[in-house]
Amino acid sequence: MQSKQLSLVFLLALTTSCKGFEAEAPEGFASFDEIRQFRAVSADGVTYRVRMEKNDPEADLAFWREALKNRMTNAGYAFVRDGEIEASGLPGYMVELAAPVGQADYTYLVTIFVKNKRIIIAEAAGEVTHFVTHEAAINKALTQIH
């Protein structure tokens, strides 16, 4: 019995340390059970994902802000707006982009937080008319990442 309890504690510690962050699904979203990232989806197809990557090359938020904005606009995404965000006291940057997908227009929101030697990346995407109905819930979920 004690061996099973120790195994459970070890498994929980391993699962938590693999992500390096905590995230919750936006209201109205269902989450997937994954170890290395957090993913959720709404009934109308808006997706939400949070993951962590190495801060390599190691740089501050100002560097990654410019790198992200340049990368996405150079890739053909239309810039909509950007701004600062804070999640559990950690400063971050968010950029909203747009792109046509077939006959529909899609919103793509990318948010980054630099946490020591790691970068937390949160993404949300969906067809514009569906995305706007979930925008407040997505923004709330972003501020609760820690």
Q: How far apart are CA 4 and CA 70, in angstroms?
A: 50
- Tell me the CA distances in angstroms from 30 to 3, 48, 104, 106, one per residue in order: 33, 10, 24, 20
Global pTM value: 0.86
pLDDT, the chain, mean: 90
Q: Give tens-digit pLDDT for 70-113.
A: 999 999 999 999 999 999 999 999 999 999 999 999 999 999 99
Q: Give the CATH number for residue 126.
A: 3.40.1000.10
Total number of domains constituting the chain: 1
Instruction: Classify residue 122: in a domain, yes or no.
Output: yes
Structural domain boundaries enclosing 137:
27-141
pLDDT of 20 above 50 = yes
End-to-end CA distance of the chain: 33
Q: pLDDT-based confidence at 5, cuts 50/70/90? A: very low
20 inside domain: no
- Taking the mean position of all CA atoms in its chain, how far away is CA 91? 14
Quick check: is 75 in a domain? yes
